[in-house]
């Protein structure tokens, strides 16, 4: 089980690296430890695309590295505090998605102008505005978790995104789609004001049609196959 989790976390990292969500050595993917000891998390000091199973470490709820070689990321409280408050969450991802950072800085709602945003709205995407600095303490992690609430994603304004899901494949595809939704909106806004987007009832219907659990798993399988081909 542990080796399977480490493999999944490393795969999630490499998928996001291939999708240009890496930011040099920053950003992290985690999975809940099945024995309740904390989270299995990408080690610090490496880029997403470099991560293999051996580069995934077990971090306790209080930030101690319990297993694996490597240092933990300073922002581990994002992962531990979201999982402490959300028993339904088995994986947390934090990236510095360029498109999400840019859209967040504009202060505009995420609009469902294409399929991707329907996974997140309505209501509007959750936003954390308490600080744009690093999330270095349990207290800040708790505030991020509160902003996220029961949602699948939260924008850390002027910083990045946090995604929460039952497992690594779902979290990875969710992070991929959020970045794509933000990119799509920025592209449209560069050409002029947005004129149309899906109504709330249509968005909820499209969420079920496009992004059911089997569809998200199929998207994960494709992204892994694409990674293997590359």
* Global pTM value: 0.97
Question: How far apart, in whole angstroms, are the C-alpha atoms of residue 173 and residue 222?
Answer: 10
The whole-number pLDDT of residue 218 equals 98
- Strands (DSSP E) contained in the chain are 28-32, 38-42, 56-60, 65-67, 91-95, 126-128, 153-156, 160-165
Query: For 90-111, what is the mean pLDDT?
Result: 98
Structure tokens at 67: 């297993």
Q: What is the average per-residue pLDDT within 222-230? A: 93
The pLDDT of residue 3: 75
Position 220 scores a pLDDT of 98
Q: How confident is the model at residue 1 (pLDDT cuts 50, 70, 90)?
A: low
Mean pLDDT value of segment 101-107? 97
Give residue 82's pLDDT band: very low, low, confident or very high (50, 70, 90): very high
Q: What SS3 class is residue 23?
A: strand
Is the predicted pLDDT of residue 207 greater than 70, yes or no? Answer: yes
With pLDDT > 70 as the criterion, what percentage of the chain qualifies? Answer: 100
**Average pLDDT of every residue of the chain:** 97
Which of 62-66's residues contact partners 24+ apart within 8 Å by CB, and which partners? 66/37, 66/38
State residue 227's pLDDT score: 93
Residues 121-151: b if buried by 16+ CB within 10 A, e if exposed: bbeebbebeeeeeebeebebbbbbbebbeee
Q: What is the pLDDT of residue 49?
A: 97
Q: Residue 230: pLDDT above 90?
A: no
Check whether domain 2-225 has CATH 3.80.10.10, yes or no: no
Give the model's confidence band at 182: pLDDT under 50 very low, under 70 low, under 90 confident, else very high. very high
Report d(CA 129, CA 12) in Å as an integer: 27
Give the pLDDT confidence of 14-48 residue by residue, as tens digits.
999 999 999 999 999 999 999 999 999 999 999 99
Please tell me whether the peptide bond between 14 and the residue prior to it is cis, using omega within 30 degrees of 0: no
Give 191-206 pLDDT, tens digit per residue.
999 999 999 999 999 9
User: Helix or strand or coil: residue 218?
Assistant: helix
- Model confidence over 124-146: pLDDT tens digits? 999 999 999 999 999 999 999 99
């Amino acid at each position: 089980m542990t080796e399977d989790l480490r493999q999944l976390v490393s795969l999630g990292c490499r998928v996001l690296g291939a999708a240009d969500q890496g930011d040099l050595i920053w950003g992290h993917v985690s999975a809940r430890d099945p024995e309740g000891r904390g989270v299995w998390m990408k080690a610090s000091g490496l880029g997403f695309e470099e991560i293999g199973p051996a580069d995934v470490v077990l971090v306790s709820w209080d930030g101690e590295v319990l297993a694996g070689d490597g240092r933990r990321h300073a922002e581990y409280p994002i992962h531990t505090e979201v999982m402490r408050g959300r028993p339904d969450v088995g994986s947390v991802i934090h990236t510095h998605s360029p498109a999400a950072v840019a859209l967040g800085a504009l202060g505009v709602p995420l609009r469902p102008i294409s399929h991707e945003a329907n996974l997140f709205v309505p209501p509007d995407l959750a936003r954390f505005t308490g600080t744009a600095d690093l999330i270095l303490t349990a207290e800040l992690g708790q505030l991020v978790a509160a902003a996220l609430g029961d949602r699948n994603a939260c924008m850390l304004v002027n910083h990045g995104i946090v995604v929460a899901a039952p497992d690594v494949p779902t979290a990875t595809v969710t992070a991929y789609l959020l970045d794509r939704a933000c990119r799509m909106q920025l592209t449209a806004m560069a050409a002029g004001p947005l004129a149309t987007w899906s109504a709330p009832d249509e968005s909820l219907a499209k969420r079920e049609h496009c992004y059911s659990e089997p569809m998200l798993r199929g998207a994960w399988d494709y992204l892994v196959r694409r990674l293997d081909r590359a």
